[in-house]
Structure 1
């Protein structure tokens, strides 16, 4: 009996998902794909230091959640930090963080675009997609 209920529950959930997805624009579905992929990239490359909830690691690594970072840095600057690292101290919420952040040469422009989109969506209160073209341009122009 439980298997039958679970089966029908799964069918109902699938139908609701299809209905919900069909109500979204192609652009929104594409943006959500960037967010999900960015979340997976964040978990793989960033979470160890900045934590799952973006709270940072004590005095070692700055928080990404609930910070002034999103008002002070634009998406291109964030992309450059993700790809190339951060050697100088960075000021976050009026606190200086001195630890070196290594860059990640293995990240492609698409990976960076997805991570930036995820970070802005999750903690930057900015639901816009950071496009592949924008990431390529930003990474080309990093200082």
Structure 2
């Protein structure tokens, strides 16, 4: 293990189903959230008629996830072995991922703002959807 790089210790190829599921549930969560701010449009309508609105809303958090999850170990050998290690790793990864997303949204380059209620909903909601997804994954595996 000493001859493995930092990322090699954090990334286990067998966790790819979890990684795909994480991205799907995060994208779905962010799409539903985006749709809440456009009540005249369904989530499908947003994807088909205003995809850039969704990309603008989701990209900061997905980028944050892609940075934080491997660094924290969400896809490490322990991250894919059992729910009692996988779920806490996902939650611990989501918190810095969300912070990265909020930091990106706070710049003038991204439309949107960072209000306290938004921070709470994204932080708690993201952690919940990741935890529920991973719980279901291990129940069905």
TM-score by length of 1: 0.28
Larger RCO: 1 or 2 (CA < 8 Å, sep 6+): 2
Larger Rg: 1 or 2?
1
TM-score by length of 2: 0.29
* Higher strand proportion (structure 1 or 2): 1
